[in-house]
Structures are given as structure tokens and as C-alpha cells.
Amino acid sequence: MLESRGSPGERAGADLLEIDDLAIRFGGISALDGVSLRVAEGTVTSVIGPNGAGKTTLYNCICGLYRPHRGRVRLAGEDLLGLRPDAIARRAVARTFQTIELFRGMTALDNLLLGRHLRFRATFWDAALATRRWWAEEARHREVAERILDFLDLQAVRNRRVGDLPVGQQKLVELGRALALEPRLLLLDEPSAGMTVEEKEDLVFRIGDVRDEFGATVVLVEHDLRVVMGISDRVVVLDHGVVIAAGPPEAVQRDPEVIRAYLGEAGA
């Protein structure tokens, strides 16, 4: 079963994610240039910035999809750079994507069960012979998936193909699949994109519940500033691959550099 790792007040304090002097170039373009930031355990941190600021590139470096030219990425003191994406996922790092990455021909339940594959301990022969161990594991993983379906109010669509679902529900299925990994660090990339105003308001509460009920530390890349300001403990602002501001949402919102680079541009 998924278990909470304690209340936010009990968990917050120590830095779970540490990024130091991260830099990566693509040809002559510097996507990240000396990015450093800290994410305290048990918090929600939002990363914002104009298009092309380097937000998704930052995620890809954390998850091992990109190899930065310099810098360090550490999770709970362990260096992640040089590890394969699957090895990083095994360290309880999960993410969603800006463009929905689901198996559209499979049901919502089956997509969630795929998120459990790194937690399986039964062998190929256990599955082939349908041993008692395999059935016990199958039941345990289905129990976790059912709890997540309940949490995200997806029971009504559990057996529907995700390709037939509206975008808002597809986004929730992708969030559910990430939660199925039992993440210690959850990276959300534009989770509200394509959602209605009502769905976005609901998402704000769900992200808080993800932290409180599942014990995940959340890093959020998001363009909708109402979502950002409604859920974040801390906001980090990127512009052209450089951190130009970091701090509580209210302070960042008033920062002149942020207003120039992002808030003013967005008209918010």
C-alpha cells in the first residue's frame, strides 16, 4: 500500500533536490546556464518563465534524458547525473509530460498498472506459471491502482480507453500513473494545459492532497499563474536558461525582473 511519509510540517526543512551550476547547450544555444536551486522535502515548488526559458530542459536533465555539460543534480544527497532514466525512476522520481504520454489504446486502470512495473518483484516464471507469489503481487498492485483511481475520482472511467477521454481526465490518468510509482519527487510539466477553469481549480487542491496524502515533494512547471500562486510554497523563475528570481510566491510576483521577463509579458 502507498503510505504517507508524514505531514508537510514534519517533512519540510531538509533539501530533497539540489541542483548546482547546471548548464547544457544545443549547438550554439545555451538552454541552461548555471542553474542552481533547492527544493525542500514536503513542499510544492513551481518553476515558471517565458517559452524557451529552459523549464522542460531542466526536467529532462533531472530525469536523465539529457546529459548536462556541467553541474550537479542530487536527490537526498545522491548524485543523479550519469544514471539512466530507469535508474532514476527506481529512486522514486516520477514525472508527467507537457504533451500527454499515455497508452491511448489501453484503459485508465491498465495505464496506472504500468506505473507499478518497477515495483514488481515476481519473476517471469512466476507470471508464466501463475504462482501464488505472482497472484499476491498482482492483487497488491491492483489495490494501489484502485486507491489512486478513488483519489483522482477516476473510477467511472477505469475501464475506458484513455484515448476516448477528455483532455482533463487524460491529465489525471497521467498524474495517477506517476503516483503509482510511489514517488518521493514528483515532477509535473504543464499539468493544467488543456483543462477547463473548473478542472484547474480542482487541480490546485489535488496537488496539495498529493503532497499531504502520498508524501510526495512536488516540482511544478506551469504557465497559469493562478495555479502557481494558489499552490506553491516557493517559486523559481527562469529566463533564457538563467534563474532570475526565487522565493515565496508573493515576493516573486513583485520582483521587477520577473515582471519584465514574464509577468508583464503574460499580462498577469
User: Which of 64-68, 128-132, 161-165 has the lowest average pLDDT?
Assistant: 128-132
Among candidate residues 142, 195, 147, the one with its CA nearest the CA of residue 171 = 195
> Are residues 204 and 231 in contact, defined by beta-carbon separation less than 8 angstroms?
yes
The domains located in the chain, with CATH, are: 1-92+183-268 (3.40.50.300), 102-181 (no CATH)
Rounded to two decimals, what is the model's pTM?
0.83
User: Which of 56-60, 118-122, 160-164, 213-217 has the lowest average pLDDT?
Assistant: 118-122
Q: Percent of the chain, pLDDT > 90?
A: 51
The DSSP H or E segment spanning 231 is: helix 225-231
Among candidate residues 100, 93, 179, the one with its CA nearest the CA of residue 141 = 179
> Are residues 35 and 243 in contact, defined by beta-carbon separation less than 8 angstroms?
yes
Residue type, 232: S
Query: Please, what is the end-to-end C-alpha distance for the chain in angstroms?
Result: 42
Q: Supply the pLDDT for residue 214.
A: 87
| Half-sphere exposure in the Cβ direction for 83 (13 Å, CA) | 18
CA pair distance 176, 237, nearest whole angstrom:
27
Q: Supply the pLDDT for residue 202.
A: 87
CA pair distance 211, 125, nearest whole angstrom:
37
Radius of gyration of the chain (CA): 19
List pLDDT tens digits, range 88-138.
999 999 999 877 788 889 999 999 988 887 666 655 656 656 677 755 776
List pLDDT tens digits, range 231-262.
899 999 999 899 999 999 989 888 888 887 75
Stretch 140-168: mean pLDDT, rounded? 90
Q: Supply the pLDDT for residue 244.
A: 92
Q: Supply the pLDDT for residue 168.
A: 87
- pLDDT at residue 4 tops 70: no
Residue 62 phi, psi (nearest 5): -60, -40
Residue 185 phi, psi (nearest 5): -120, 125
List pLDDT tens digits, range 14-25.
999 999 999 999
CA pair distance 88, 75, nearest whole angstrom:
9
Stretch 1-25: mean pLDDT, rounded? 70
Q: Supply the pLDDT for residue 132.
A: 74
- Computed over every residue of the chain, the mean pLDDT equals 85
φ/ψ bin of 128: left (φ > 0), alpha (ψ from -120 to 50), beta (otherwise): alpha
User: Which of 7-11, 44-48, 247-251 has the lowest average pLDDT?
Assistant: 7-11
Q: What is the DSSP letter of 157?
A: G
Q: Supply the pLDDT for residue 102.
A: 86
- pLDDT at residue 11 tops 50: no
Place of cell 503510505: 3
Residues contacting 67, CB < 8 A, separation 6+: 24, 61, 81, 82
Report which of residues 164 and 129 the model is more confident about.
164
Place of cell 544555444: 29
- Supply angle C-alpha 257, 29, 101, rounded to 5: 90
Q: Which three cell numbers stand for residue 160?
A: 475506458
Q: What is the DSSP letter of 208?
A: H
Q: Supply the pLDDT for residue 144.
A: 86
